[in-house]
Amino acid sequence: MKLDVIPIHVADQPPGEPGLSGNAPPLLREVAEQVRRLLESGEPSAIDLSALPLTPADLDWLQEKLGAGEIAVTLQASGESTLNETACPGVWWVTHRNEQGVVTSQFIEVAFVPELVKAHPADVAIGLETLELLISDL
Amino acid sequence: MQGPLIDTLARQGVSRRTFLKYCATLASMMALPPAAGLAMAEAMAAARRPSVIWLPFQECTGCTESFTRSHSPTLEGMIFDMISLDYQETLMAAAGHQAEEARHTAMRDNAGKYLLVIDGSIPLDQGGAYSCIGGRSNLDILKEAAEGAAAIIAMGTCAAYGGIPKANPNPTGAVSVSDIVKDKPIVNIPGCPPIPVVMTGVLAHYLTFGSLPELDDKGRPKAFFGETIHDRCYRRPFYDQGKFAKTFDDEGARRGWCLFELGCKGPVTYNACATVKWNGGTSWPVESGHGCLGCSEPDFWDAGGFYKALSLPADPLKFAAAAAVVGTGAGVAIGFANRSKKGGAKSAHETTTLDDLEK
Ligand code: SF4
Ligand code: SF4
């Protein structure tokens, strides 16, 4: 049984846009500032979305504003992670899930390529060993 | 197996990206800036693992179960890869004199540098005879092991505040670690059982920054114990609207209303259940329809009944203040650097005999 079958209705919805706290719009300014920094100094940065008082509606609003870009990366590493470029190049929406599919953390990352996507030199070296092994077997 | 952590993990099929992802989430849970995730991953991947001696005292092994049976074994089990676990009775293969020997060797070789993890309270009545290992009282073993420790982690409510053994009428005279050890930094990770990831977080912080995380006035890491269950409870809107379930099977309970009137101690309990949740993020007590018991607070067992509503909705401090008075020993502020060394901790052991037990 899924948890969402337990009916929880929020009565007396507060007036205004449903569920919006007003905390999302300032985040867009911060993202813009971070993109400026990336362009000027190449310095990447990130915003931890789980650490901020954002409602699900706020997150939807942000995601809708930032839109979808050309690249969507899926990472299978003890649960699925998605690193999706938004319509603003250099701005990535990063969601980590555990093996049960529960979102464990969520970030907006500002970088040319998110750190997690890059291959680490030590791992590349292991890959090279594998290749050499393959070649020696030819 | 003393190589860098990342090699050990790789041997177990944990990739670097899995590790990075885990560190990113851990940093987020600890309210550290996103960049700390990367720093933690780099520091931990390369760290030489600290020696850890883990002593079980008057306990039910639930704390150890909480860690070893968590849902994603490779990742939560990582705490065992982050450290060199030199003594843990429940997990180690050695027994008897060999086990005691292993502890002494680790204490000698890593004097002043090892981390001491304690679960369980320490009984003081009858000269400590209620709980002994190899004929020696817990009190005796704790004092000896604390002397050479760099820091102590009191895991679970029993070690942190006395817990259930200390509940009225406290037949064994149980006390907490901080009631006994006064000259070492002590981190309390209370909970009955404690949340596994808090332990990982404390170790990660220690390995990355070379220090223990910031603690609250009850010795708990602020990153995980900074807010009450009630602060982060998803049923909070109902509390604010005054919508309470009155019984466990009424209309309100079915609609998921607030459990305050059914005895929920969420408003006075500092813990991370509402955000970290249990069983791999599946659910947590309030989400499955039962109020919080307050298990991470001192003397929760004697706080007036699990199903009795807190006396004043608007005055949660009442319970907290009462608890603070009872638990004064446990609530000592932690000063790391300039604690005066407590002199003359007995190093010669007194062996508890059968006669003592029968006194
Ligand atoms: S009293 Fe308990 S159930 Fe109600 S909002 Fe607070 S923590 Fe949640
Ligand atoms: S909900 Fe309360 S009683 Fe239950 S585990 Fe969390 S802190 Fe302990």
* Binding site membership of B290 for ligand 1 (Cβ less than 6 Å): no
Pocket test for ligand 2, best of B231, B284, B295 (most atoms within 8 A of CB): B295
Name the band, by pLDDT with cuts 50, 70 and 90, for residue B318.
Answer: very low
Nearest-5° angle of CA B230, CA B236, CA B242? 115
Amino acid in position B254? R
B51: pLDDT strictly greater than 60: yes
Same domain (yes/no): B135, B247: no
Same domain (yes/no): B157, B84: yes
Structure tokens at A94: 């990063």
Alpha-helix residue ranges (DSSP H) falling in chain B: 5-11, 16-29, 34-46, 62-68, 73-76, 79-82, 96-109, 138-147, 156-161, 177-180, 196-209, 222-225, 236-240, 251-254, 273-276, 317-326, 354-358
We report the CATH number of the domain holding residue B218 as 3.40.50.700
Same domain (yes/no): B150, B241: no
Structure tokens at A88: 């603003």
Cα dihedral B5→B10→B11→B12 (10° resolution): 100
Same domain (yes/no): B273, B183: no
Q: Does B73 touch chain A (CB under 8 A)?
A: no
Q: Does A54 touch chain B (CB under 8 A)?
A: no
B288: pLDDT strictly greater than 50: yes
Same domain (yes/no): B273, B298: yes
Name the band, by pLDDT with cuts 50, 70 and 90, for residue B79.
Answer: low
Q: Does B31 touch chain A (CB under 8 A)?
A: yes
Please tell me the predicted confidence (pLDDT) of residue B321: 41
- Exposed, middle or buried by CB within 10 Å (0-12, 13-18, 19+), for A13? exposed
Same domain (yes/no): B217, B238: no
Cα A99 → chain centroid: 17
B118: pLDDT strictly greater than 70: yes
Last residue of a domain, one of B252, B281, B302: B302
Q: Which ipTM did the prediction report?
A: 0.78
Q: What is the pTM of this model?
A: 0.76
| Domain-embedded: residue A4 | no
Query: What is the count of structural domains for chain A?
Result: 1
Please tell me the predicted confidence (pLDDT) of residue A5: 62
Query: What is the count of structural domains for chain B?
Result: 2
User: Which residues pair with residue B152 across a beta bridge?
Assistant: B116, B186
We report the CATH number of the domain holding residue A53 as 3.30.1370.140
Ligand nearest the Cα atom of residue B266: 1
Same domain (yes/no): B206, B252: no
Closest atom of ligand 2 to B300 CA is: 3
pLDDT tens sequence for chain A (138 residues): 555 666 555 555 545 556 677 788 999 999 999 999 999 999 999 998 877 777 778 899 999 999 999 999 999 988 899 999 999 999 999 999 988 888 888 999 999 999 899 998 988 999 999 999 999 988
B261: pLDDT strictly greater than 80: yes
Q: Considering only CA atoms, which of A81, A51, A123 is closest in space to residue B32?
A: A51
B16-29 vs B196-209: helix axis angle to the nearest 10?
100
Q: Do A12 and B31 touch (CB under 8 A)?
A: no
Name the band, by pLDDT with cuts 50, 70 and 90, for residue B352.
Answer: very low
Same domain (yes/no): B90, B106: yes
* Nearest Cα residue in chain B from A83: B21
Same domain (yes/no): B269, B210: no
B102: pLDDT strictly greater than 90: no
Task: Determine which helix (DSSP H) or strand (DSSP E) holds A84, and give its type and residue range.
Answer: strand A80-85
| Domain-embedded: residue A57 | yes
| Domain-embedded: residue A8 | no
Please tell me the predicted confidence (pLDDT) of residue B3: 62
Name the band, by pLDDT with cuts 50, 70 and 90, for residue B293.
Answer: very high
Ligand nearest the Cα atom of residue B264: 1
Same domain (yes/no): B140, B237: no
Name the band, by pLDDT with cuts 50, 70 and 90, for residue B179.
Answer: very high
Please tell me the predicted confidence (pLDDT) of residue B338: 26
Last residue of a domain, one of B281, B302, B323: B302
We report the CATH number of the domain holding residue B249 as 4.10.480.10
Name the band, by pLDDT with cuts 50, 70 and 90, for residue B71.
Answer: low
Q: Considering only CA atoms, which of B304, B339, B346 is closest in space to residue B322?
A: B304
Q: Does B20 touch chain A (CB under 8 A)?
A: yes
Interval B156-176 mean pLDDT: 96
Best residue of A6, A21, A48 to probe chain B, by most B CBs closer than 10 Å: A48
Q: Does B237 touch chain A (CB under 8 A)?
A: yes
B345: pLDDT strictly greater than 90: no
Q: Do A7 and B254 touch (CB under 8 A)?
A: yes
Q: Does A1 touch chain B (CB under 8 A)?
A: no
| Full residue range of the structural domain in which residue B34 is found | 4-225
- What is the Cα–Cα distance from B24 to B36, expressed in whole angstroms? 8
| Domain-embedded: residue A15 | no
Does residue B255 contact residue B246 with C-beta atoms inside 8 Å?
no
| Domain-embedded: residue B359 | no
Residues of chain A contacting B254 with CB distance shorter than 8 Å: 7
Structure tokens at B12: 């177990």
Nearest-5° angle of CA B291, CA B297, CA B301? 70
B347: pLDDT strictly greater than 60: no
Please tell me the predicted confidence (pLDDT) of residue B76: 60
- What is the Cα–Cα distance from B346 to B267, expressed in whole angstroms? 43
Centre of ligand 2 to C-alpha B195, Å, is 9
B334: pLDDT strictly greater than 60: no
* Binding site membership of B301 for ligand 1 (Cβ less than 6 Å): no
Same domain (yes/no): B177, B140: yes
Same domain (yes/no): B120, B178: yes
Task: Determine which helix (DSSP H) or strand (DSSP E) holds B341, and give its type and residue range.
Answer: none
| Domain-embedded: residue A13 | no
Least confident stretch, A66-80, B29-43, B216-230: B29-43
Q: What percent of chain B has pLDDT over 70?
A: 83
Q: Do B21 and A45 touch (CB under 8 A)?
A: no
- The DSSP bridge pattern shows strands B174-175 and B122-123 to be antiparallel
Task: Determine which helix (DSSP H) or strand (DSSP E) holds A42, and give its type and residue range.
Answer: none
Centre of ligand 1 to C-alpha B246, Å, is 13
Please tell me the predicted confidence (pLDDT) of residue A92: 97
Residues of chain A contacting B200 with CB distance shorter than 8 Å: none
| Domain-embedded: residue B56 | yes
Q: Does A11 touch chain B (CB under 8 A)?
A: yes
| Full residue range of the structural domain in which residue A30 is found | 20-136
- What is the Cα–Cα distance from B151 to B155, expressed in whole angstroms? 13
Output phi, psi for B14, to 5 deg: -95, 115
Pocket test for ligand 1, best of B234, B259, B265 (most atoms within 8 A of CB): B259
